[in-house]
C-alpha cells in the first residue's frame, strides 16, 4: 500500500499538515521497492511541500530522474508526470496525469517495443473511474508486468491474468515495465472512463459492479425463491438458490464446513474466518441440496486452486470478514448451478432479505440435512451498533445487520449468502459473519457488507468470467 499512500498524499492539498493512513505498517502488503515516481513523491513530501502547485514544481525539478526495472534489468529513463488537464486525444501518454470528468475516457494501450510506461488518472467532481481491460496478454512474469494501484487494492499482473473490470475508483495509478531482452509480442488495452458516482442514497447500476459477461446470467432463480417461509425458517426447494455453495475446509486432521456464494464460473465468496490461506484445503460443492446423500445428480465438486482472504481481516474484531476462493476448474451453468450478482452501493434498510444454509436450527441445536432458507429484515445501523457496543466484534460501515423475531442464521451458516431481489435480479448484499447466540432478541445477525468490497473482489478475480 506504500505506493498508493504516496500517490494520495501527492494528490491531496492539506493545510498545515499531511493526510496519513490509519492502517498499521505491519498490515500493509508490500510490492517490492518504490518506483522512481514513488521515490520522487516521497522526497518532495519530505521537503514539506503541501500545496499541489508547489508539489508539481518539485516533481518537474526531478523530471530527469531515472526509473528502474522491478527485475533489476538495468535502468531506463522514465518521464515525469505532467500536471495538466485531459486533452482531446483518448490515448494515454506515458508519464502524464489526467483529470477525467463524467463521460470522458482514456485508453492505456501498449505500443510496439514499449519499455516503461506509467500514468495517473484522477476522477473530478461527483464521478468515479471504471477501468476495463478487454485485452491482456503479457509474457512470463520475469520479463514484464502490469501494476495497478488504487484506493482499496494494489496488484501486479502478468501473462494473460489481467485485472478485468474494476469500478468505483477515485484515483488510479498504472505502471507497465518490460525487460529489454523480451521479444514477445505483448498486448494491453484498458479503458479508463469517468462515470457519475453511485452514492448510497442513489442506489447504483447492478451491471456496473459485475465481472464482464456476468450481468447477463447472474441473479437468476426460480419464481419460488425468496418466499417468506436455519432458525425460524424452512427447507428450500431443490435448485431454488443456484448460487449456494458448500465448503468443506480441511486443515490437517480437522474438517469444518461453511457456506459460500458463486459469483463467477471459477470464484466463490465466503467469510474470512472460514478459511486460512496456509495449510488449508477447500473442496467446493455446487448444486447441493441434501448433504446426507453422497451423490446428487445436480452437484458439481471442485477443489480450490487459491484462497485469498482480505489482507486486513481481523480474527479478533471480525473486520473485513471476506475471502475469495478460486476453483481449480470452472463450473458449468445449469438450472441448479449459477452465479449471484454483486450488489449496488445501497443501504437496503427495512428491506426483506433471504439467508440460506445448512446451519443449526437452534443455538447448539440439530442441523438439517437439506438446505434451509429464512427471511430477515435489514435493520438500521445505529441500533445494531448499540446492540453490540460491549462486544469485541465491531459494527462498522463495512457490515450490515438483519433480523426478525425468531429468525436468524446460526452455527454452520458462516460464509453463506444474504441476498435481496433488486429490480427483478438477486444480489449478494451480505456474508454470514457473526452474532450473539442465534435469533437472540435484541441482537441481529451481522453480515459482511459486500458492496464495500466490490472493488477488491473485482480486482482479485484476474480471469473471472461467466
Provide the annotated active-site residues: 273, 321, 414
Identify the helix (H) or strand (E) that includes residue 352.
Answer: strand 352-357
- DSSP one-letter string for 7-44: HHHHH---TTS-----S-GGGPPP-SSPPHHHHHHHHH
Identify the CA nearest to 337 among candidates 425, 218, 452.
218
Cell of 443: 441482537
Q: Phi and psi dihedrals of 459, rounded to 5? A: -70, -30
Q: Which residues contact 153 (CB under 8 A, 6 or more apart)?
A: 455, 456, 459, 460
CA distances from 460 to 110, 311, 436, 464 (A): 23, 12, 31, 9
- DSSP one-letter string for 189-213: EEEEEEEE---TTT---GGGGSPTT
CA 316 to chain centre: 21
Identify the CA nearest to 359 among candidates 200, 223, 233.
233
DSSP tag of 103? T
Encode burial over 417-443: b for 16+ CB neighbours within 10 A, e otherwise: bbbbbbeebbbbbbbbbbbbebbeeeb
In whole angstroms, give the CA distance from residue 151 to residue 174.
13
What sign for the dihedral angle of Cα 423, 425, 431, 436?
positive
Q: Report whether 147 contacts 30 (CB < 8 A).
A: no
Amino acid at each position: 500500500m506504500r505506493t498508493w499512500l504516496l500517490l494520495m498524499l501527492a494528490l491531496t492539498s492539506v493545510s498545515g499538515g499531511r493526510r496519513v493512513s490509519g492502517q498499521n505498517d505491519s498490515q500493509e502488503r508490500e510490492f517490492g521497492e518504490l518506483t522512481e515516481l514513488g521515490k520522487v513523491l516521497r522526497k518532495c513530501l519530505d521537503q514539506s511541500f503541501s500545496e499541489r502547485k508547489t508539489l508539481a514544481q518539485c516533481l518537474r525539478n526531478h523530471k530527469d530522474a531515472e526509473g528502474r526495472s522491478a527485475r533489476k534489468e538495468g535502468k531506463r529513463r522514465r518521464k515525469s508526470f505532467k500536471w495538466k488537464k485531459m486533452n482531446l486525444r483518448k490515448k494515454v501518454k506515458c508519464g502524464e496525469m489526467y483529470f477525467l470528468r463524467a463521460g470522458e475516457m482514456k485508453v492505456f494501450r501498449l505500443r510496439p517495443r514499449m519499455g516503461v510506461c506509467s500514468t495517473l488518472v484522477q476522477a473530478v467532481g461527483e464521478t468515479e473511474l471504471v477501468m476495463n481491460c478487454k485485452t491482456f496478454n503479457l509474457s512470463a512474469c520475469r520479463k514484464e508486468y502490469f501494476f495497478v494501484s488504487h484506493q482499496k487494492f494494489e496488484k501486479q499482473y502478468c501473462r494473460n491474468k489481467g485485472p478485468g473490470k474494476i469500478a468505483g475508483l477515485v484515483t488510479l495509478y498504472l505502471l507497465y515495465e518490460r525487460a529489454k531482452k523480451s521479444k514477445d509480442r505483448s498486448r494491453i488495452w484498458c479503458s479508463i472512463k469517468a462515470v457519475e458516482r453511485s452514492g448510497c442514497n442513489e442506489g447504483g447500476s447492478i451491471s456496473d459492479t459485475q465481472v464482464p459477461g456476468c450481468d447477463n446470467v447472474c441473479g437468476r432463480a426460480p419464481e419460488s425463491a425468496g418466499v417468506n417461509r436455519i432458525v425460524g425458517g424452512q427447507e428450500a426447494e431443490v435448485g431454488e438458490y443456484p448460487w449456494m455453495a458448500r465448503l468443506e475446509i480441511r486443515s490437517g486432521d480437522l474438517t469444518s464446513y461453511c457456506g459460500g456464494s458463486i459469483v463467477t464460473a471459477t470464484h466463490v465468496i465466503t467469510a474470512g474466518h472460514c478459511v486460512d490461506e496456509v495449510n488449508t484445503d477447500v473442496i467446493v460443492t455446487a448444486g447441493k441440496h441434501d448433504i446426507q446423500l453422497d451423490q446428487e445428480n445436480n452437484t458439481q465438486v471442485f477443489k480450490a486452486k487459491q484462497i485469498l482472504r482480505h489482507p486486513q481481516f481481523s480474527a479478533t474484531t471480525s473486520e473485513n470478514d471476506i475471502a475469495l476462493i478460486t476453483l481449480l476448474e470452472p463450473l458449468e451453468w445449469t438450472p441448479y448451478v449459477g452465479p449471484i450478482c454483486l450488489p449496488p452501493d445501497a443501504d437496503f434498510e427495512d428491506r426483506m432479505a433471504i439467508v440460506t444454509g445448512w446451519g443449526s436450527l437452534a443455538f447448539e441445536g440439530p442441523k438439517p440435512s437439506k438446505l434451509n432458507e429464512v427471511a430477515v429484515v435489514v435493520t438500521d445501523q445505529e441500533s445494531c451498533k448499540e446492540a453490540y457496543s460491549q462486544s469485541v466484534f465491531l459494527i462498522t460501515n463495512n457490515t450490515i445487520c438483519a433480523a426478525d423475531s425468531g429468525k436468524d442464521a446460526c452455527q454452520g451458516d458462516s460464509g453463506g449468502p444474504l441476498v435481496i431481489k433488486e429490480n427483478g435480479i438477486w444480489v449478494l448484499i451480505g456474508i454470514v459473519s457473526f452474532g450473539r447466540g442465534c435469533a437472540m432478541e435484541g441482537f441481529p445477525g451481522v453480515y459482511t457488507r459486500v458492496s464495500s468490497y466490490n472493488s477488491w473482489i473485482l480486482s482479485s478475480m484476474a480471469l473471472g468470467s461467466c
